[in-house]
Each structure stands twice: as C-alpha cells, then as structure tokens.
C-alpha cells in the first residue's frame, strides 16, 4: 500500500535535515504503529506524505499503491486515498463543518470520475457516522473545529475519515487529548474501518491506544529514521523502559 | 516655499473653483413646489463649503477629483455574459432607472399595500408634507461634524428619485434597479424613505446606474419601525459612484443596511446614522471584492444620542491585483447615551502583496456606561487552513474560495432575509469562480 524508501527531508527555509533516510512499508490491510521520542520526525513524515508546504525532499521516494505521491498536490493525494488525522486539527472560522465535509466528499468523487453524492444520502451518512462517535448535531453545524475542545477536534478528524473512507489512514497522535471513553469510541471507529483493502499508520506515544487498536507492526522512530521494528511487544517494551536503550544501539 | 496657511488657502480656493466649474456645467432641474426651496438652500450651503478636495482630511485615502470634476470620466458598458439579474428570483416591486432616468416601461406597477411610492420628479409640485419635511433635512444634519458636499450637491441637483412612505408591513421589497446604457452618463438620484411607526420595509438596490453616479438616500425610521436595505453595486469595471445614506432611527426602531460591491474603478459609500430614540438598533455592513483597478471606500458615521441603542459596523474587503480598500468608521457616543452597545469591525483579506487596505477606525465616547469595541485587521489567506482543506481533497481553487467566503461570512450574516442572502452569496461565488 504505502512504500517509503530512503526518504530524506529538509526544511525549505533552513538547512536542517529532519528525516534522514526513512524506510517503511505498510502492506494492504495492516496496521503499523510509529512511536518515538518528541522531535524525532513523526509528524514531519505525516506532513510530507500529505503534501504540506515548507519541506523539501532531497532523496528517496514514497508511493501509494505504486503511484508517486510526492509529486502530487495535497488534494490529489487525498483523492488517491491518503488521509491524515492531524496532531493539531486546524480551526477554520466561517466554514461550516457540513459544507466542508460535503465539499470534500464531492471533490474526491469528482477527482475519481464519480457522481456527486445526493443531499439526502450525504445527510444520512454524516448522521450515522456522527452518532457512532457520539458527536451531536450542533457540532456539525459549527464552523470547522472552531470552539471544539481538544478531544472534540480529534473526534472530528475520525468523523472525516469515516466519511471519506480513505485507503491509507495516517493518525498522528489521535489519542492525545481524548478521555478514556472517547478513546474507546475513536478506536471503535478505526477498527470498524479495518479491512483487507485499507491500511493504517498510527503515530502514538502510548501503549494505551494500541490496546484498542492492535497493530501488526510497531516501529520506533528516532533522529529522523526508523531505528527499530517489531511486533506489538515492542510497544510494551517502550511503555516500560522508555527510549533509553536507543542511544546505545544507534550511537 | 509655500507656508502652511498658503497651502490651506490654496486648497480652499481649489474647492470653490471646483464647485464653480461644476455649477457652470449644471442646470437646476425645472419645476416648482416645495423642492425649489430645498434645492436653493442646499446650493447656499454648498457655496459655503465648495466641493471635496484630496487635501481634505475626510478624503485622505480617496481622491475625489473624478467625482467632483464637471464631466464624468467615460465608462465602458459592461457585458455581464448573460448572468441572471441580481434579485431576479425575489418577489419584488421593481422600479427601473436607466442612466438615472426613470423608465416606466421597464418598471412594475408601483402599487403595494401600505406603501406609497412617488417619483421625485412628479411629487415635488404636490403637497406631500412628509417628503417636504424630509428632503434635504437629514442630509443637512449630516453635514456636522464633517462636511459631505457631494450629498449637498445631490440635494440641489438631483433629477429624480423615489419618495416612499410606509404605513404598514410591506408584503414585498421595493427594488430599485439602476441600468447603465450610456458611456458618459452622469446620474444624480435622491430618494426619501419614511417608515412610519411600527411599519416595515425592505429596499433593494442594484446596478451601476451610470458612468458616474451620485446618490443620496434619506431614511427616517419612526418608533418601532423596521427598515432593511440590501444593495449590490454594479459590476461595471469603469463606473464611479459616490453614495450617501442618511438615517434617523427612532425609539425601538431597526435600521439595517448591507452593500455588496464587486468591481468599479471608484466607489465611495458614506453612511450616516443617528439614533434619536432609546432602544434602537442600526447595523451597517459591507462586503467588497476588488480586482485590479478598484478603489472602494466605506465611510461610516454612527451617532448615539439615546440610551441602550445597539450599533454594528461590519466591513469586509477582499482585494487582489493592486486593488485598494478604505474604511473610515466612527462611533460617536454623546453625553447621556448610556448603555450604548457599539461594535465596529473592518477587515481586509489581501490576496497578494500589491493590494492595500487603509483603515481609520474611530471611537469617540462622552458617556461613562457604554460597551464599545472596534477592530481592524489586514491579512492574507490562512495557509494552515488552506492546507487542511486541500488535505481532504478540495482543490486549491475551491479551497481558497471557501476561505474567502468564510472571511466574508460575518458581513453576509447581517442580511436577515435568507433568500436575499443566498442571492448575494451566489454573486460572491460566481465572482470568485471567474477568477480561478
Ligand atoms: N517548520 C519547522 N521549523 C523548524 N523546525 C521544525 C519544523 N518542522 C519540524 N521541525 C523540527 O523537526 C523535528 C521533528 O519534528 P516533528 O514535529 O516531526 O516531531 P515529532 O516526532 O512529531 O514530535 P512529537 O512527538 O513531539 O509530536 C523537531 O526538532 C522540530 O522542532
Ligand atoms: Mg508530532
């Protein structure tokens, strides 16, 4: 599904390399988790994959089902099936959540040569997904993320994911800011989407999330590289021991 | 070297020279009746002030030369490419002016229950007390503390206009449509609107009107009355306009005015509102879209001279390719106008670095128990927001449009009628889509 090879990324504005040769392959139907110390480059990887400005790829490649996504516009990547649940979802005053969702759904459909969704079907879809996430109608009417609590913003990300049905879902610290119940709801939302044709890359600091969304593979990122890869037990090891052992190994 | 007093004297002389030059090119409309004395009084006032000059403090950001000069600058007619007419879907009583001349063939029959509609040109010889008392009166009062000579010129020389008196709840809006058919037309229209106690009326205005348009609207809203005004100024790129609204808002009355301006080489819209009774409401809003050779000036003056009145000024400007936006807005709270609630916001969204927004927001408060706030900002599209939208699959063009519409939303929300607001929004969307 997603293949990242020797990806080197520096900041556009300054001569600072942040990703220093990332190698990562997420197979179709699998859930991969990335853990790693603050500042190790996890969010940068997710931004570069989704096409945010400000970064320069100096080496390496990233493909989604064989297509070079790094040469695409952000909207093309989305239409190709990539989705990033932001670590810090953006507030957009004046743009209603519903308008935003409908515009996004229809833009993606158009890009794929499909017809627009009918107003009725769209409403039904949103109501159903919102109910699963216990988001009330009032939140749907408000401007995108404006006045949402931290946890509500994260839920709104998952709502978008549930509606857009992307094939490659990247979740950047979706668990931070969620209370225990919300974490369960969000995990249920993610698990409901798990199927053979869809993959997840879950960035998190905590084992707690991975108790609910059980990963197939766990990676540790440090200093702009994947330095360790293992099974779910690796996450438990991090939870108990922290990242202290990395320094000896990578030094 | 010219001394400061010399410069001042020269500017003053220039204002009077400009007036004499303009007067030489004009004739006062024929006809007698009550209007003659109003016109003559205006002319006398005008001779005291002269016409605006770019050295006037009030015209610091907008050069009035082409609004003042004897002949209008020629303005090419605009091909709207078959766009559906503004307010075309609204059930309304349409009154059409072509280059400032009333066209009865194009207009609807002006009969509407609870509403008396007369043409200025015909009514002046008739004994319409309310119109006689209103014509030029609010304009004259609006000359203090700041002079507005173009409005005085209008009172003296207006060739036509409508006089509307509302005694009930008007079932539909009165829609003034201004067509532009001559490249050199110079239209001067003066409307008087009297909303009697408890009555309700919506007035719509749209169209460029002429190569150069000078328009005054005097609105007197009596106790508990409601007046809504929504206007869409014409899309002709080369048109010029100087408009004034003078409103007097009595106890528990409501006055709301919204203006959409897209295109136009020069527009100066002045709105002067005075609260004369307690517990009244006045909202003045504007959304403007400028691309290239575009200069738009909103100059607003709200005077609170009563208790517990609420005023809002909401002005949003989207500017690109060197367009210029101006906002001069003032809230004056007189002694004793306690519990005044005054709000003013003026913002511009600059779509590139060539465009400019010049703002002079002012509060002048002489009462101690009031809540007034004002803010003015100028900024670019929020890149974070834009990326967020694009990351969900919305292409850059439509995503930018969404951000622009979001920016304008607070102004559009000032339009109460949903259907009218939708019409205005569709104009904004079309304007943006054409520029993608
Ligand atoms: N635009 C930027 N300007 C300067 N430094 C940046 C920029 N973007 C990222 N960095 C730096 O790159 C490094 C990686 O940041 P990134 O946000 O990817 O880390 P992270 O692994 O997501 O951390 P966390 O766990 O705290 O979320 C950090 O040192 C960060 O300060
Ligand atoms: Mg991060």
Whether the ω angle into residue B145 lies within 30 degrees of 0, i.e. cis, is yes
Does B396 contact A100 at a Cβ distance shorter than 8 Å?
no
- Confirm or reject contact between A200 and chain B (CB < 8 A): no
Other CB atoms closer than 10 Å to residue B35's CB: what's the count? Answer: 24
Cβ burial of B130 (10 Å; 0-12, 13-18, 19+) is: middle
**Min Cα separation A76/chain B (Å):** 7
Q: Which of B379, B386, B393 to mutate to test the interface with A (most CBs of A within 10 A)?
A: B393
Residue B343 has pLDDT above 70, yes or no: yes
- Residue appearing with tokens 């969307």: B429
- Confirm or reject contact between A100 and chain B (CB < 8 A): yes
Q: What is the pLDDT of residues B23-58, one digit of tens each?
A: 999 998 987 788 999 999 999 999 999 999 999 999
Nearest CA in chain A to B403: A95
Does A51 contact B391 at a Cβ distance shorter than 8 Å?
yes
The pLDDT of residue A247 is 58
The pLDDT of residue A251 is 37
Nearest CA in chain B to A111: B393
Contact between residue B186 and residue B210 where contact means Cβ atoms under 8 Å apart:
yes
Q: What is the pLDDT of residues B325-341, one digit of tens each?
A: 999 999 999 999 999 99
Q: What is the pLDDT of residues B252-281, one digit of tens each?
A: 999 999 999 999 999 999 999 999 999 999
Residue B2 has pLDDT above 70, yes or no: no
Q: What is the pLDDT of residues B5-28, one digit of tens each?
A: 887 888 889 999 999 999 999 998
Whole-angstrom Cα distance, residue B71 to residue B355?
A: 29
Q: What is the pLDDT of residues B353-405, one digit of tens each?
A: 999 999 999 999 999 999 999 999 999 999 999 999 999 999 999 999 999 99
The pLDDT of residue B1 is 56
Contacts of B384 in chain A (CB under 8 A): 90
Element (H or E) spanning A108, and its range? Answer: helix A97-111
The DSSP bridge pattern shows strands B93-98 and B101-102 to be antiparallel
* Domains in chain B: boundaries: 10-380
Whole-angstrom Cα distance, residue A96 to residue A41?
A: 32
Residues 6+ apart with CB under 8 A from B81: none
Contact between residue A189 and residue A165 where contact means Cβ atoms under 8 Å apart:
no
Counting as low any pLDDT under 70, the low residues of chain A are 246-251
Mean pLDDT of chain B: 95
Contacts of B395 in chain A (CB under 8 A): 73, 75, 107
Q: How far is the CA of A42 from the centre of ligand 2 (A)?
A: 5
Phi, psi dihedrals of residue B187, rounded to the nearest 5°: -100, 140
> Which residue has the least CA distance to atom 22 on ligand 1?
A43
Whole-angstrom Cα distance, residue B435 to residue B397?
A: 9
């Amino acid at each position: 599904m997603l293949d990242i090879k020797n990806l080197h990324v520096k900041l556009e504005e300054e001569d600072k390399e942040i990703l220093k040769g990332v190698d990562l392959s997420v197979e179709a139907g699998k859930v991969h988790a990335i853990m790693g110390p603050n500042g190790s480059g996890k969010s940068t990887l997710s931004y570069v994959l989704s096409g945010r400005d400000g970064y320069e790829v100096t080496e390496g490649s990233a493909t989604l089902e064989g297509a070079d996504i790094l040469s695409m516009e952000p909207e093309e990547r989305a239409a190709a099936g990539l989705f990033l649940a932001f670590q810090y979802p953006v507030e957009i005053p004046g743009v209603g959540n519903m308008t935003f969702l409908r515009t996004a759904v229809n833009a993606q459909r158009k890009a794929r040569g499909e017809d627009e969704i009918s107003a009725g079907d769209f409403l039904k879809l949103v109501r159903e997904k919102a109910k699963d996430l216990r988001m009330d109608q009032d939140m749907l009417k408000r401007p995108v993320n404006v006045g949402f609590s931290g946890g509500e913003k994260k839920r709104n990300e998952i709502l978008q994911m549930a509606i857009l049905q992307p094939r490659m879902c990247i979740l950047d610290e979706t668990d931070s800011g969620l209370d225990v119940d919300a974490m369960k709801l969000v995990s249920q939302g993610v698990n409901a989407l798990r199927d053979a044709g869809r993959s997840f890359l879950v960035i998190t600091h905590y084992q707690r999330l991975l108790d609910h969304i059980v990963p197939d593979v766990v990676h540790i990122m440090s200093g702009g590289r994947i330095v360790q890869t293992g099974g779910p037990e690796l996450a438990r090891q991090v939870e108990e021991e922290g990242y202290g052992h990395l320094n000896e190994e990578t030094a | 070297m010219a001394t400061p007093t010399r410069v001042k004297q020269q500017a003053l002389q220039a204002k009077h020279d400009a007036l004499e030059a303009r007067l030489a090119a004009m004739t006062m409309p024929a006809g007698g009746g009550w209007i003659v004395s109003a016109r003559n009084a205006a002319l006398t006032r005008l001779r005291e002030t002269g016409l605006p000059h770019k050295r006037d403090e009030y015209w610091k950001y907008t050069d009035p030369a082409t609004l003042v000069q004897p002949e209008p600058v020629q303005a090419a007619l605009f091909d709207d490419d078959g766009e559906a007419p503004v307010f075309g879907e609204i059930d309304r009583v349409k009154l059409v002016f072509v280059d400032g001349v009333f066209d009865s063939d194009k207009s609807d029959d002006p009969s509407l229950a609870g509403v008396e509609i007369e043409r200025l040109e015909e009514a002046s010889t008739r004994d319409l007390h309310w119109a006689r008392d209103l014509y030029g009166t609010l304009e004259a009062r609006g000359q203090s503390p700041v002079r507005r000579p173009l409005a005085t010129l209008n009172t003296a020389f207006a060739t036509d206009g409508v006089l509307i008196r509302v005694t009930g709840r008007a079932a539909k809006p009165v829609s003034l449509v201004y067509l532009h058919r001559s490249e050199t037309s110079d239209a001067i229209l003066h409307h008087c609107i009297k909303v009697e106690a408890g009555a309700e009326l919506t007035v719509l205005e749209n169209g460029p009107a002429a190569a150069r348009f000078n328009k005054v609207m005097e609105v007197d809203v009596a106790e508990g009355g409601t007046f809504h005004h929504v206007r869409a100024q014409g899309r002709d790129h080369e048109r010029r306009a100087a408009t004034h609204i003078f409103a007097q808002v009595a106890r528990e009355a409501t006055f709301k005015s919204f203006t959409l301006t897209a295109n136009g080489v020069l527009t100066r819209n002045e709105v002067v509102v005075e609260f004369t009774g307690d517990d009244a409401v006045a909202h003045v809003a504007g959304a403007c879209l400028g691309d290239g050779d575009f200069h738009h000036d909103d100059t607003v003056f709200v005077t609170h001279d009563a208790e517990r009145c609420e005023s809002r000024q909401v002005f949003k400007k989207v500017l690109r390719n060197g367009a210029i936006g101006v906002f001069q807005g003032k809230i004056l709270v007189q002694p004793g106008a306690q519990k005044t609630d005054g709000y003013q916001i003026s913002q511009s969204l600059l779509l590139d670095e060539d465009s400019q927004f010049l703002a002079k927001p002012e509060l002048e408060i002489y009462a101690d128990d009031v809540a007034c706030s004002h803010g003015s900002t100028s900024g670019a599209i929020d890149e974070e927001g834009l990326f967020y939208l694009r990351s969900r699959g919305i292409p850059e063009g439509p995503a930018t449009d969404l951000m622009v519409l979001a920016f304008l939303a607070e102004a559009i929300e000032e339009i109460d009628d949903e259907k009218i607001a939708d019409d205005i929004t569709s104009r904004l969307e079309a304007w943006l889509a054409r520029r993608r």
